[in-house]
Amino acid sequence: MSSNPDPAIPEVQPVLLDRDHSILAFNERVLDWAHRREVPLLERLRYLCIVSSNLDEFFEVRAAPHLQAYQSGDLKGLTSVRSFTALSEEAHTLVERQYSLYNDSLTPAFAKAGIEIVSHAERTLAQKRWVREYFEREVRPLLIPVGLDPAHPFPQVANKSLNFIVRLGGKDAFGRENEIAIVKVPRVVPRLIRMPARVSGKRTLLVSLSSVIRAHLASLFPGRDVGQFSQFRVTRHSDLAVDEDDVRNLRTALRRGLERRHYGQAVRLEVSAGCSEFLSAFLLRQFNLPDAALYRVHGPVNLVRLQQLIELVDAPRLLFAPYLASMPKRLASGQSVFEQLRQGDILIHQPFQSFDAVLSFLREAVNDPQVLAIKQTIYRTGSDAQLLDLLREAVRRGKEVTAVVELKARFDEEANINWAESLESVGAQVVYGVVGLKTHAKMLLVTRREGRALVRYAHLSTGNYNPRTARLYTDVSHLTADPELTADVDHVFLHLASHSKLPVLKHLLLAPFQLQRKLIARVVQLGEAAATGAETRIVLKMNSLTDEALILALINAGRRGVHIDLIVRSACTLPPQIPGITHNIRVRSIVGRFLEHSRVFYFRQGAEETLYLSSADWMNRNMLRRIELVWPVNDPVLRQRIVDECLLAYLHDSRDAWELAADGSYSRVRPADGSGGNSAQDALMARYAARGTKEGRWT
């Protein structure tokens, strides 16, 4: 491809793609897996549920500014009447595709496999009796219908909860004609119930909770005529906003915020497709929503809860073949991890290799009497207690344990608060990072006495310390005893705990201090080299690319002749393949069995190459409002391994890859020979699989 060799060519910036539309486009790619007939049936349902879960988060986090702009009549800016209308149309189309797939494809396929969610009209008399008994025993005692009148206004309805609205005829016990009632469904009741064999025979028959309640609504209003009714669900803005400069105790403020999160601004209303205009209009008024925020669905209002079906059905043939990750060969069983790290760095490519290797490192540190101190960041650890128990045990064994806990990790705030309180209760030093910045870096540092010296060992990762997601997300863990790199890590921990001035780091790049500037400088340097005729290459793998300064640097480097490949899983606002502007830039997205999560940055000028691993995506928030780490992989053997496994394999993927066009649309890559194509994830699974069975999926 031709390029302008003049290093002084003026910088240009084309109109960037819209981030929110790019997020919705990612979910279209995920939904494609639910359409694939070669994917096992229960896994197709899982992908359908993943899209619904992603859409919930999209509305909870991204929708409010567009809705507010629409309601105030704003006509200009990134959030406006136009942006709300466009996103609403796209979201409605995606939801319609979901329910069409569920009703027209998945439901008949499940029926053919002997699995059905049976509606009230389809139930036999014996099944109806069983459902009635279940309702009376398990459901009715938890329901409190609320008739609306001046003394009983519309009740508070929690975010994403299941509810019924009912229009009643006749008069209540006091002779009044209040016609609207609300039935809130408790979250503690399972949304799917499997019927016993005595009424289901040899088939796997289930009933939905909404169907159970719908069949017995009349019994909740004795003496009244139940006319129109519908299930409904409201989604609310759920991004916590806490002014850290104005609170004395961040943990207490966040706990109070969590209590309010369930009742934030309404941004979406879902109702049954058959909901009357009268009831839907009534609900829209109650939640102060425009017509475009109403979603009429042909099925359950919360597809996410259909994941329960996967757990209720015992059908391994309808799932992916189990996968057992192997342990890294460099971590030989029965040998000290510390001894092996003194021989060289170790990489763990998760989930193809097991996260248990990281747990083994921490476990040995906890049990080793020569280990004096353990420091760890905690961002998303989930509910798994292994790491927490190990850190608590380290305290009990007299080690100095410091945990940098990020309380503001979205939707994990409560779990992290509980972690912090549990660690503090046994005497660990818990700190919450830097005011105004999320600590997103993933690092673990162990200090060990060896003779007269104190030696450090570190674990750095592109992903979280979460044993569950480590089986579902692709990430790279890096174990090292490099004295300069571990000294840098120690400086970062000291900075986070004491807020002292950060010394000059020898190897680490740290946001928000110099990461964005250093990355831009590296890209510009390659652009200048390319303009003089040097052979240059940039390959970047990340989850999202939306930072305008970095995008501008990439665009201008590409115009000067740098060949750039971007592997961006989700949102990407850089428009590639624009003639004369981004013609040297290609963007592809990989959506596979595992969730792509690793961040790898590769730069080459002539024979000189550098490769970094990172906790950071190229987003403005990661560069300027978070504590993020980028670190080099200097061992040439390990560096080549990452190039082969994380970059080249994905650039040659012809089964799970999608290519981005200049207009923001994605097209699925098809192999030229008409075969099924090559999958990078499948190849890595084949390379690293161990014997045995273990689940491997992402949600």
Residue range 388-442, pLDDT digits in tens: 889 999 999 999 999 888 776 555 566 667 777 888 888 888 888 677 788 889 9
Q: For residue 31, report the phi and psi dihedrals to the nearest 5 degrees.
A: -60, -30
Round to whole Å and give the CA distance between 281 and 261. Answer: 25
The catalytic site residues sit at: 440
Radius of gyration of the chain (CA): 28
Residue range 626-679, pLDDT digits in tens: 989 999 999 999 999 999 999 999 999 999 999 999 999 999 999 887 788 899
| Residue 240: per-residue pLDDT | 54
> Could you tell me the pLDDT band of residue 153, with boundaries at 50, 70 and 90?
confident
606: left (phi over 0), alpha (psi -120 to 50) or beta: left
Name the percent of the chain lying above pLDDT 70.
90
CA of 102: how far to CAs of 45, 90, 110, 468, 510, in Å? 8, 19, 10, 27, 45
The yes-or-no answer to whether 19-318 and 337-502 have a common fold is: no
For the record, the structure tokens of 533 come out as: 């005729």
Residue range 484-537, pLDDT digits in tens: 999 999 999 999 888 888 899 999 999 999 999 999 999 999 999 999 999 999
Where is 184: in which H helix or E strand?
Answer: strand 180-184
| Residue for token pair 């475009």 | 292
Where is 193: in which H helix or E strand?
Answer: strand 192-194
239-270 exposure pattern, b = at least 16 Cβ within 10 A, e = fewer: ebeeeeeeeeebbebbeebeeebeebebbbbb
Collect all residues with Cβ–Cβ distance below 8 Å to 363 and sequence separation of at least 6: 390
Would the pTM count as exceeding 0.85?
yes
Q: How many residues does the chain have?
A: 699
Nearest to 651 by CA among 589, 563, 561, 559: 589
For the record, the structure tokens of 247 come out as: 């609170």
- 475 three-state secondary structure: strand
Contact, 622 vs 628, CB < 8 A? Answer: yes
Q: Provide mean pLDDT across the span 79-97.
A: 95
Is the Cα torsion angle 61, 65, 66, 68 positive or negative in sign? positive
Per-residue pLDDT for 90 more than 70? yes
Half-sphere exposure of 175 (CA within 13 A, CB side): 0
| Residue for token pair 């000067």 | 560
Task: Classify 337-502 by CATH class.
Answer: alpha beta
Residue range 15-63, pLDDT digits in tens: 999 999 999 999 999 999 999 999 999 999 999 999 999 999 999 999 9
Contact, 165 vs 232, CB < 8 A? Answer: yes
What are the domain boundaries of the chain?
Answer: 19-318, 337-502, 511-688
Is the Cα torsion angle 543, 545, 549, 554 positive or negative in sign? positive
Residue range 310-349, pLDDT digits in tens: 999 999 999 999 999 999 988 877 789 999 999 999 999 9
Cβ-based burial of 613 (10 A; exposed 0-12, middle 13-18, buried ≥19): buried
Q: How many helices (H) and strands (E) does the chain have?
A: 21, 27
For the record, the structure tokens of 237 come out as: 């803005």
**Which one-letter amino acid corresponds to residue 211?**
S
Where is 230: in which H helix or E strand?
Answer: strand 225-236
| Residue 228: per-residue pLDDT | 93
Angle at 112 between CA 110 and CA 116, to 5 degrees: 45
| Residue 506: per-residue pLDDT | 95
For the ranges 232-236, 245-249, 332-336, 428-432, which has the lowest average pLDDT?
A: 245-249
The CATH fold assigned to 19-318 is polyphosphate kinase like (3.30.1840)
Angle at 665 between CA 41 and CA 13, to 5 degrees: 145
| Residue for token pair 């509980």 | 418
> Could you tell me the pLDDT band of residue 384, with boundaries at 50, 70 and 90?
low
Cβ-based burial of 684 (10 A; exposed 0-12, middle 13-18, buried ≥19): buried
Nearest to 235 by CA among 42, 354, 57: 57
Angle at 301 between CA 412 and CA 192, to 5 degrees: 80
Where is 387: in which H helix or E strand?
Answer: helix 386-396
- 136 three-state secondary structure: helix
What CATH number was assigned to the domain covering residues 511-688? 3.30.870.10
